[in-house]
Amino acid sequence: MKAIILIPFIILNVFGAFAQISNVQEEFLLPASLSESSGIIYFNNKLITHNDSGGENKLYEVDVNTQQISRTVTISNATNIDWEDITQDDTSIFIGDIGNNNGNRTNLKIYKISKADYTASTTVTAEIIAYSYADQTDFTANPNNNIWDAEALVSYNADNLMLFTKNWVDGVTKAYVIPKLPGSHSVSPQATTLNSNGLITGGTYNEATGKLYLVGYTEILQPFIWDCEGFSAGSVFSGTNTQTQLSSLVQEQAEAITFIDENSYYLTSESFSQSFGGFTFTDDAKLISFSTNDEVLSNTKTKTPNMLALYPNPATNVLNLKSSDAFLSVEIFNSQFKKLYQGQEAVINVAAFSPGLYFVKVQLNTNLFVVKKFVKQ
């Protein structure tokens, strides 16, 4: 549980009065062992969640009918330094060890596990996606007073995750695109930012509607939701951003959010106990639901813009890259994710590569990454 400083003043509900969020309901208290639930997804008709810093390296399935933990899965090669969010795509689950309260971590990472492995066993091994912020130069520890913390991670498309910062200084949230490819990545912020009016603590991207939802809370633990839509792929806050304060919940340390379908969502809150002015405020961790009335897109699969073409594939001597976008960088990895090439060329000599499977990671000038496979004959 994180320290929360409560300030005795009222923030008026002036943002997003017309946002289409309704039917906000407290569903049930989470089991006591999940008092610090910090991320959730909905998979196979079950909630999957985890605790945050100092918790075990485990994922917990919660049956929403019995309101109890029905299954626990251990990630054998993972450590919970500060797990803050979880997201998924069609084939994988991603757990974000992205918390950075002091602002000085140099071992930020995301654990990637196969859904097939997850469903087949209660012990799984993860691939590791390590990352660093290209724009961070100062690693001085500054507890709960820095701009390098993060608690929101979403799966944006087939190739990329998107991470959102938790800014303790002025509430301005930045977005970073992180490839889903295991290895080490230096990532840069997108051009637009969000003045969140609080702390962003979780996120979910709904492919069916093309909407991004971010959850967080203010200094007095007033939970809110940001609805972001109509944005360009390389600038997630470039569209319409609407804030709705969940006033009916009064005080909640809202920590995580996930979609159930195109118009149904769950969020979780963490237990807390805080005092000011001679009063102590406490509450238990709980599951909360809400509804939207969003329109479903005609094509629910998000397309990566300026798709990259590789040819010939399989390749023998030369690999050609083609895109309508310029390349900021090109990297080639072998099947063990060892980097074999880095540059910006569109024609790459691969004659010396051993026969086998390779991955090409390209950063486009939209600040998006595209990852493609090719075979060397």
Question: Which domains are delineated in the chain?
Answer: 21-292 (2.120.10), 309-376 (2.60.40.1220)
| pLDDT (0 to 100) of residue 302 | 47
Between CA 61 and CA 46 the distance in angstroms is: 6
Q: Distance of CA 96 to CAs 22, 49, 83, 149, 319, Å?
A: 29, 12, 5, 12, 34
Residue 280's alpha-carbon distances to 6, 80, 175, 251, 294, in angstroms, are 10, 30, 35, 13, 39
Which pLDDT value is given to residue 374?
Answer: 92
Residue 107 CA to chain centroid, in angstroms? 17
With CA atoms as reference, report the closest residue to 206 among 288, 265, 290.
Answer: 265
Q: What letter does residue 173 receive in the DSSP assignment?
A: E
Residues of the chain with pLDDT under 70: 1-19, 276-277, 299-307, 365-367
* Residue 3: predicted pLDDT: 45
DSSP state of 115: H
Residue 9: per-residue pLDDT: 31
**What is the rounded CA–CA span in Å between residue 331 and residue 344?**
8
Alpha-carbon gap, residue 311 to 275, rounded angstroms: 63
Which pLDDT does position 297 carry in this prediction? 86
Summarize pLDDT for 19-29 with one digit per residue, the tens. 489 999 999 99
Give, in order, the Cα–Cα distances in Å from 19 to each of 10, 228, 242: 21, 11, 7
Q: Cα dihedral sign for 203, 180, 46, 55?
A: negative
The predicted structure's pLDDT at residue 326:
77
Per the DSSP assignment, residues forming a β-bridge with 150 are 165
- pLDDT for position 257: 99
The torsion angles phi and psi of 120, rounded to 5 degrees, stand at -90, -20
Q: Which residue has the tokens 């602002």?
A: 103
